[in-house]
Amino acid sequence: MSGLAEPSSGTKPIYVLNGPNLNLLGEREPEVYGRTTLAQIGERVSARAGTFGLSVEFRQSNSEAELIGWLQEARHESCGVVLNAAGLTHTSVALLDAARALGRPLIEVHLSNPYAREEYRRHSFVSEAATGVICGFGAQGYLFAIDHLAQLAKSPNG
């Protein structure tokens, strides 16, 4: 999935990157992750970013290597990143290393609250490199992240 083209103002897009199994949103464990599909989240995120005059590059992959490649691309092509690394959040030092090299604001998003779930979900490698973490608000968390990154992108020091 790709978002909108870069606006004429020259502001780079916000990358919204989604990890493994998020392509199954709306079908997989709706009692935990909700019934909103990833495509619906992508539409809402693009619309919200548009209200700030920003565009979004919205992507999903089940591949750790592809997510790392996109984070590396975002170093030069984005004004910031929203990352829902899904299960890789709790396992991937390589994703952490790519996030540390980003040089852009990174907001970690989780649909559910990992701290109210299994013990192994309570540690996030990604958090060590994140500007902020939003969890437990369902699909709305993505919009909170867009709001924050838009504020940063529009600030004189952003």
Handedness of CA 151, 102, 144, 79 (dihedral sign): positive
Contacts 24+ apart (CB under 8 A), 63-67: 63/20, 64/19, 64/20, 64/88, 64/92, 64/94, 64/95, 67/17, 67/19, 67/95, 67/98
142 included as an active-site residue: no
List the catalytic residue out of 33, 115, 123, 148. 33
33 included as an active-site residue: yes
List the catalytic residue out of 76, 110, 120, 123. 110
Sheet holding 56-60, edge to edge: 56-60, 14-18, 80-84, 106-110, 132-135
Which residues are catalytic, by number?
Answer: 33, 110
